[in-house]
Amino acid sequence: MNKKTFTLGIFGGGQLGKFLVQSAKKLNIRTFVFTDSFDSPAIYHSDDFIISNYKNKKKLDFFIKNIDLATFEFENIPFQTLDYVEKKITVSPKPSIIRILQDRLKEKNFLNSIGIKTTEFYYLKKVNKRKINNSFFPAFVKTTRFGYDGKGQIFFKDKKNFLKYSFKNNEYIIEKLVNFKKEISMVISRNKSKTVAFDAFENLHKHQILEKSKIPANISRKLNNEAREISKKIINKLNYIGTMCVEFFVTKENKLLVNEIAPRVHNSGHLTLNAYNVSQFENHIRAVCNLKLKKPKRIYKATMYNILGFDIEKYRSKNITKKEFFYDYGKKEIKDKRKMGHITKII
């Protein structure tokens, strides 16, 4: 293999990785993907790739030797891997930040410690289950780690059902159901000297999976700016380099609660590929490589729809208009609820 120009190593090979690789190419940056799955869309676009268990030291050593910097498109990379790599090469964003944001309990404690409001919650290990008030329900029990797209979550309508349930271990939080007005997210990027953010995306979830995102979000300028200020505070306090997404609930009283933070580019930001002067992916590459960030300017109003499971087959043979942008991630295996593609419609 030939390492002539700057090479960015990317852990994870999903659609987020694919878009990162394509953005890097635009900036003349070589990419090397490290993934643990054969069915990884990013490997068809990167300059090089390794398919291996994330803990294989031989493979990791080869990867490190052939890259200048590492980042990731998926935050659930084992700590041991990130720590091992960080000892030899810069990883952006820093693995110590990922330790906080990979864990719902640590994440919420961090946010509350800097004065940012989250949903009300208890750590199941530290609470007497019987002492939780009836009024706390309905509630979600969520695993502290490795949950996404509704995975690792159990919904309890009332306390009776909750007390009857036997949990495998205590690494869960219980979170009060928020009767929110809407959900929004803020995608923000930071390099060593500057922070830039897109305006909020308005998101609709179905069965805890993102169904669609639209811009502009139907919220006031004031609320948009508040979400931006909160996100700025988070990214600066963490000294985070790269792109992150802060997901919010907008309560009936128009207050913002942070639901969670994704320490990476995010599904709700897909429409930046077509509706903005710069995409979230390009700004992530720029941030981690310490290139000048592009200030986002919206060009179109747009809505992005996720295409899950076998729905992709319908879209593959559908006529697409000039105002639609269809992305087929090219995953080999179609599975129910698996993110197979998306379509963005601009206005």
Q: Which residues bind ligand AMP (CB under 6 A)?
A: 119, 140, 147-148, 150, 175, 177-178, 183, 205, 208, 247, 259-260
CB-nearer residue toward ligand AMP: 18 or 108: 108
Do 260 and 104 touch, CB atoms closer than 8 A? Answer: yes
Do 341 and 327 touch, CB atoms closer than 8 A? Answer: yes
Least distance to ligand AMP, CB of residue 179, Å: 7
Least distance to ligand AMP, CB of residue 145, Å: 12
Q: How far is residue 110's CA from residue 194's CA, in Å, rounded to a whole number? A: 22
DSSP 268: G
- Cα–Cα nearest to 107, from 78, 153, 144, 73: 144
CB-nearer residue toward ligand AMP: 245 or 273: 245
Least distance to ligand AMP, CB of residue 289, Å: 29
Q: How far is residue 261's CA from residue 234's CA, in Å, rounded to a whole number? A: 9
CA 304-307-190 angle, 5° bins:
50
CB-nearer residue toward ligand AMP: 21 or 245: 245
336: exposed, middle or buried (Cβ count in 10 Å: 0-12, 13-18, 19+):
exposed
Least distance to ligand AMP, CB of residue 132, Å: 14
H/E element, 232:
helix 221-238
Q: What is the phi/psi pair of residue 296, to 5°?
A: -65, 130
CB-nearer residue toward ligand AMP: 207 or 332: 207
CB-nearer residue toward ligand AMP: 106 or 294: 106
Q: How far is residue 269's CA from residue 249's CA, in Å, rounded to a whole number? A: 17
Least distance to ligand AMP, CB of residue 123, Å: 15
Least distance to ligand AMP, CB of residue 134, Å: 17
Radius of gyration for the alpha carbons in the chain, expressed in angstroms and rounded: 20
At residue 104, the 3 state secondary structure works out as helix
Query: Residue for token digits 């992530």?
Result: 284
Q: How far is residue 226's CA from residue 202's CA, in Å, rounded to a whole number? A: 15
Least distance to ligand AMP, CB of residue 63, Å: 30
> Cβ neighbours of residue 61 under 8 Å, at least 6 residues apart?
none
292: exposed, middle or buried (Cβ count in 10 Å: 0-12, 13-18, 19+):
exposed
CB-nearer residue toward ligand AMP: 199 or 247: 247
CB-nearer residue toward ligand AMP: 143 or 274: 143
Joined together, the tokens standing for residue 145 give 């780690």
CB-nearer residue toward ligand AMP: 247 or 282: 247
CB-nearer residue toward ligand AMP: 91 or 308: 308
> What does DSSP say about strands 30-35 and 121-123: parallel, antiparallel, or unpaired?
unpaired
Least distance to ligand AMP, CB of residue 109, Å: 16
Least distance to ligand AMP, CB of residue 177, Å: 4
